[in-house]
Structure 1
Amino acid sequence: MELETFYVNRDINNRSRPPTQSHSNDEGKDRKQRGSRCLVLMTVCLGLICVLLLVFITLYITITAERDLLKSTVEEFNHTINSLQDKNTDLMTEKDQLKNNLNSLSLKKLELETRVNDLTAEKSQLQGSVDSLNQKKLELETELRKLSTQENDRFFISCEQKSWSECRQFCRDRGANLIIINTIEKQVSLCE
């Protein structure tokens, strides 16, 4: 616009002079130069617009690709997080089950320890009873040996006449037996 204004101003200044051939050549050159300048300016502007469009398209494609990549990465992260949360839930459930099993086993262990203690006490008691019975057995065996050696001193001689069966029953009722005399020495010792 300044060029046009300049041209108009120049034209106004030169009105007093009549146009000459060289002046019209100059004017044509000026118009050509202005036209080629406009053309260069428009070409440069179009080139800049193309470059800007290319930059914007490249940026758009890059941003879209990065957005899609981020979107897929976020989806993968969400999937991984969900999977980890599921595993965490499963592990917490398993932990609770194991804790319950541990508590149950601890109670069983305490019960078994109590049972072992009771059985140990009972065993000690029974061992004491066995020891006592063994002592009594030894005493009774000793007494039996003493009684065996004194066998001849413990006879009951009855003057009643009874059958062998009746005599045997009579002795058994009193915790005794009939004597068997199978040697002459024994018969002599009894009769003395």
Structure 2
Amino acid sequence: MDSKIFFVKFENSDIKGTPEPQTTSHHQDEGKTQKCRGCRCLVLMTVCLWLISALLLVFNILQHITIISYKNTVEEFNQTINSLQDNYTDLMSEKDQLNQKKLELETRVNNLTAEKTQLQDSFNSLSQKKLELDGKVTSLSDELKKAYVKGNQLGWFFITTQLSWSDSRQYCKDRGGDLIILNTEVKQRTITSLLAERVWIGLTDLQQEGSMKWVDESPLKQGFWYSGEPNDVAGNEDCVELLPSAPLQNWNDLPCTQSRKGICEK
């Protein structure tokens, strides 16, 4: 626009034939001003481009840092998730083990409870039996005392000399009695409780082998034999002795010629 004006004005000056130096100088100033403005615009554009480049560079750097941080965060997050998953798996495994132990303990408690119940029942049964036995022992003690008194009244006495069975019986007869007959449990216990050594009693199978009879000719109904007796060793054990080893099962057969003390009763 300015060059066109300058050209027009220049043409007009040629036509008129008069120069216009002031107008030309004015146009030169305007051109310089215009160039300065262009330079400023160029500088501004350059600065803007530099700023934009700097911003892009900062943005790229920040974006790169953000991406790296994001990756690190994701990796840490994944590691945390994996760790939590492993912990969860371990906890579930421990839970299963604890449940199994709980079931085992419950089963054991149930078994122990059942055993306790059985033991309690057995204890109660044994306590009842003990009471019954205590009552029986008391009753037997009373009977023993009565039998002992009765025995003294009947005239039980010991032979202090060692004699054969036949001689012991004759000793008793000479004193108005005979060898003792033990046909009850109470009498058996009473006599045994008074013993300190082996003695003859009034039982034999001299008349018929294998058929034991008392000296009053009554057959044997209840025997208190020692284990394995009578065994009739060598076929000549026909008389019976009483051993002090046990309160009940303490009878033994042996040859009648053996020497023993004896018990007589009238």
Does the TM-score normalized on the shorter chain lie above 0.5? yes
CA distance in 2, matches of 1:106, 1:154: 70
Verify: 1:17 aligned to 2:13, yes or no.
Answer: yes
Bigger RCO of structures 1 and 2 (CA < 8 A, at least 6 apart): 2
TM-score, scaled relative to structure 2: 0.57
- Structure 2 counterpart of 1:153, one-letter code: L
User: For residues 135 and 12 of structure 1, do their structure 2 counterparts lie closer, same or farther at Cα, with a shift above 3 Å needed?
Assistant: same
Q: Tell me the equivalent position of 1:38.
A: 38
Cross-structure match for 2:246: none
Question: Quick check: which one's strand share is greater?
Answer: 2
1:145-173 CA distance string (max 9 Å, x none): 11000004377xxxxx9244996254486
Name the residue aligned to 1:184: none
Equivalent residues in 2 for 1:1-192, closer than 5 Å: 6-11=1-6, 13-14=8-9, 15-18=11-14, 20-151=20-151, 152-153=153-154, 162-164=166-168, 168=200, 170-171=202-203, 178-179=262-263
Structure 1 stretches of at least 4 aligned residues deviating more than 6 Å after TM superposition: none
Provide the secondary structure at the position in 2 that maps to 1:128: helix
State the identity as a percent. Answer: 23
Residues 36-74 of structure 1 deviation map (CA, whole Å, 9 limit, x = unaligned) = 211111011001111111122122222322332232122
Q: Which amino acid aligns with 2:83?
A: S
**How many residues get paired?**
172
CA distance in 1, matches of 2:107, 2:38: 99
RMSD: 2.9
How far apart in 2 are the matches of 1:150 and 1:165? 21
Provide the rounded CA distance (Å) in 1 between the counterparts of 2:121 and 2:6.
137
- Residue 3 of structure 1 corresponds to which residue in structure 2? none
**What amino acid is aligned across from residue 47 of structure 2 in structure 1?**
G
Give the Cα separation in 1 of the matches to 2:51 and 2:71. Answer: 29
Structure 2 Cα separation of the partners of residues 89 and 43 of structure 1: 67
Question: 1:9, CA displacement in angstroms?
Answer: 4.0
Q: Could you tell me how far apart the structure 1 residues matched to 2:146 and 2:124 are?
A: 33
Secondary structure, in 3 states, of the residue corresponding to 2:13?
A: coil
CA distance in 1, matches of 2:32, 2:103: 102
For 2:6 and 2:22, the matched residues in 1 are separated by: 14
Specify every segment of 5 or more residues in structure 1 that has no aligned partner in the other structure, as ranges.
1-5, 156-160, 182-189
CA 1:153–1:165 in 2, change beyond 3 Å: closer, same or farther? closer
Q: Secondary structure at the match of 1:61?
A: helix
Letter in 2 for 1:42: L
Q: Cα gap change, 1:45/1:165 in structure 2, threshold over 3 Å: closer, same or farther?
A: farther
In structure 1, the residue matched to 2:220 is none
TM-score between both structures, scaled by the size of structure 1: 0.76
SS state at 2:166 partner: coil
